Amino acid sequence: MSLRVARGALAVALVTAGTTIGPGGPAVAAGSAGYCPDASGVTVVVDFHELGGGTVVRCAPGAQASGLAALKNAGFPITGTLRWGEGFICRIDGKPSAATEKCVDTPPASAYWSYWHAPNGGSWTYSDKGVLNRKPAAGSFEGWSFSLNRNADDAPRPGAAPKRP
């Protein structure tokens, strides 16, 4: 199965999950800069790589309903796609720019945000589930890394170790 076909199938699953899960949920306090101090939240790492901006680490406090909730509750502004909504993360913190990526359909396999997860003290694992289909465990790490001209086999891992200091 090609990467494009696999991503398309994942898109359908994500949209279906999004319609049953819904965008709502309980209000959670805004995220804070740095690693979560204990296992009561989820640490979110965003590595901009070729987009500039370095690696940003933020804490999403409390339990998180999904990877999308963790990303948003950590305080990262996101943009989904017109076709798939927030089932595909097209832009994090305004990157890539609207001039570079219109966010109409699935971002191209050559330039997209790869999604990762890890337990505290573990190692990054490329997520085989979409952002709406993954519930991060308390104390764990969620990672996002911009992949330019790479595929799932060689996408760069987030640049911060998944270990609370």
DSSP bridge partners of 58: 33, 44
CB 115 within 8 A of CB 44: no
- The DSSP code for 50 is G
Question: 3-state secondary structure string, 115-129?
Answer: EEEECCCCCCEECCC
- Which residue has 């104390």 as its token pair? 139
- Going residue by residue through the chain, which has 165 residues, state the pLDDT in tens, using 9 for 90 and above: 444 434 443 443 343 333 323 333 344 457 999 999 999 999 999 999 989 889 999 999 999 999 999 999 999 999 999 999 999 999 999 999 999 999 999 888 888 999 999 999 999 999 988 899 999 999 999 999 998 888 778 889 999 999 999
At 41, list the tokens. 């939240």
pTM assigned to the model: 0.81
Distance CA 145, CA 165 (A): 21
